[in-house]
Amino acid sequence: MEPDRTERLRRTLKKRLAAETRETLQWTEQRNTGSPKAMRYFYDVFRRWEDPAALVGDKPVIATSCMQVPLELILACGAVPLRLCNGSHALEQAGSEFLPAKACSLVRAIMGMISVFRERLQERLSLVVVPTTCDQKRKAVETIAEGAFKVYPLEVPPSKHTEEAEVYWRNAVKKLALTLEKVTGTRITAGRLGGAVNDVRQASAQYRRLSRMQQHDPPLLSGKDMFLVMNGFLFDDVNQWTAAVARLNDELDERKQQGLFAGKGAPRILLTGSPPLAPGFKVPLLLEEAGAVIVADEVCSCSRLLDDAVVCGEPKLYDMIPAVADRYLKPCTCPIFDSGEDRRRKLMESVRRFDVDGVVYQSYSGCQLYQMEQRGVGHVFREADIPMLFVETDYSPEDRGQLSTRFEAFVESIQSRKRRI
């Protein structure tokens, strides 16, 4: 595209992106007057989306997509991980230029992010690590490289629990570690990696503590707020984020004593499927508007990020790097693998643990993986007599009315079920 048009497009998109961010904040920060004070930190972090160039600070940045990239390795090199996955309709449209019409909204949004903010990103971005997860992400590697970015495809095996997969992935992660060292010019030592592992583990500990607040009936935090908190993890400084979550947890403990809850009497929902991402949290917002409260989730922009933790047997690199690798592969419940068994079991365990009344399974229109997995997941829930609503959507705001109707009907059917029981 010619430079003038590009500049015009960029300005328009930035304005729209800022508008999307402000709208989400209106639904959360402003309408949610009962939110805990500690949420202010996360609203402020979220506000950075008004100008994503600000997401990229002064340290060297390693951009990633998906959740399989070991953050500990990036942190051990002294770099900052930045997840490119976003939920902006404006960026999705910008990215449509590079992808087929029926492509996944998320991949389009990533391309949009890269193309619209290219100059700023190129200053700070040392590398874009793209795990070869689904078809579209894998093919996007070359498209991203067209934008003159250094792209590193991280090879993800198609199986999880075979020995071959374990070896394949450990080697892939080792290669990545060497590449990161070269690109950042910093050696990964056992001390640095140990520190990074500990930082992420602390984040995981605080996340689990927060997630347990939702097991309470009624829950202590609304689903909207939970998603905003986790959104911060995708690009905020790990230690600052952990400290902020710790403060939030402390405040929620107090609120429990005072009897201040979120979503009293509302049907408890588990949201799973394609991830809701900043700045557009359409589905969680509409779902909670319809009278539900999201107490649990099984998506890669929220619980999947920090549910699992690394354990090192021996404090040396020859053990720590495979340990980090294993944590990102073995418990991963992404639908890219040939078996969805771990995901189904995790969903059932979450339903039990959080005393869930119903499940909302969302899939982006371009995502065949989630749509295909819906069958198996649906069977499991049907057998357990747990109501599940499947919705197919994308980033555009046009289907808000239709989604609302479905969510309201689902909430009403759960309420009538509960009254009978």
**3-state class (DSSP) for residue 359:** strand
Q: With CA atoms as reference, report the closest residue to 198 among 258, 253, 238.
A: 238
Quote the tokens at residue 120: 């700023």
- Cβ 402 to other proteins shortest distance, Å: 5
**How many distinct helices (H) and strands (E) make up the chain?**
17, 8
Q: Which of residues 290-319 bind other proteins (CB under 8 A)?
A: 307-309, 311-316, 318-319
Q: Which stretch binds other proteins (CB under 8 A): 69-77, 90-98, 233-241, 321-329?
A: 321-329
Give the whole-angstrom CA distance, residue 153 versus residue 49.
26
Specify the residue, 23 or 342, whose C-beta has the smaller distance to other proteins. 342
Specify the residue, 237 or 307, whose C-beta has the smaller distance to other proteins. 307
CB 326 within 8 A of CB 171: no
Name the DSSP class of 412: H
Q: Which stretch binds other proteins (CB under 8 A): 40-48, 83-91, 220-228, 343-351?
A: 343-351
Q: Which stretch binds other proteins (CB under 8 A): 9-17, 148-156, 222-230, 401-409?
A: 401-409
349-375: b or e for each residue (b if 16 or more CB lie within 10 Å)?
A: ebbeebebbbbbbbbbbbbbbbbebbe
Specify the residue, 13 or 200, whose C-beta has the smaller distance to other proteins. 200
Give the whole-angstrom CA distance, residue 81 versus residue 397.
30
Q: Which stretch binds other proteins (CB under 8 A): 141-149, 174-182, 256-264, 339-347?
A: 339-347
Specify the residue, 11 or 382, whose C-beta has the smaller distance to other proteins. 382
Q: Burial of 84 by CB count in 10 Å (0-12 exposed, 13-18 middle, 19+ buried)?
A: buried
User: Which residues lie below 8 Å from residue 101, measured CB to CB, with a gap of 6+?
Assistant: none
Task: Note whether 413 binds other proteins by CB under 8 A.
Answer: yes
**Residue from 10, 331, 396, 400 that binds other proteins (CB under 8 A)?**
331
DSSP codes, 200-238:
HHHHHHHHHHHHHHTTSSS-SS-HHHHHHHHHHHTTS-H
Q: Which stretch binds other proteins (CB under 8 A): 37-45, 159-167, 237-245, 273-281?
A: 159-167
User: Which residues lie below 8 Å from residue 277, measured CB to CB, with a gap of 6+?
Assistant: 85, 86, 87, 106, 109, 231, 301
Count of beta carbons in the 10 Å neighbourhood of residue 157: 18
CB 73 within 8 A of CB 324: yes
Task: Note whether 53 binds other proteins by CB under 8 A.
Answer: no
Q: Which stretch binds other proteins (CB under 8 A): 38-46, 173-181, 201-209, 223-231?
A: 201-209
Specify the residue, 50 or 342, whose C-beta has the smaller distance to other proteins. 342
Specify the residue, 254 or 314, whose C-beta has the smaller distance to other proteins. 314
Backbone angles phi, psi at 165, to 5 degrees: -65, -40
Specify the residue, 122 or 416, whose C-beta has the smaller distance to other proteins. 416
**Residue from 9, 246, 323, 386 that binds other proteins (CB under 8 A)?**
323
DSSP bridge pairs for 268: 293
Specify the residue, 45 or 389, whose C-beta has the smaller distance to other proteins. 389
For the window 363-392, what string marks contact with other proteins as x by the rule CB under 8 A? ------------------------x-----
Specify the residue, 78 or 195, whose C-beta has the smaller distance to other proteins. 195
Q: Is 66 left (phi over 0), alpha (psi -120 to 50) or beta?
A: left
Task: Note whether 260 binds other proteins by CB under 8 A.
Answer: no
The tokens 């390693």 sit on which residue?
Answer: 62
**Residue from 11, 31, 40, 161 that binds other proteins (CB under 8 A)?**
161
**Residue from 8, 264, 345, 375 that binds other proteins (CB under 8 A)?**
345
The tokens 């020995």 sit on which residue?
Answer: 163
Specify the residue, 5 or 419, whose C-beta has the smaller distance to other proteins. 419
Amino acid at 16: R
Specify the residue, 233 or 328, whose C-beta has the smaller distance to other proteins. 328
Interaction site with other proteins (CB under 8 A) = 160-161, 163, 191, 194-195, 197-198, 201-202, 204-205, 208, 307-309, 311-316, 318-319, 322-323, 326-327, 330-331, 342, 345-346, 348-349, 352, 387, 399, 401-402, 405-406, 408-409, 412-413, 415-417, 419-420
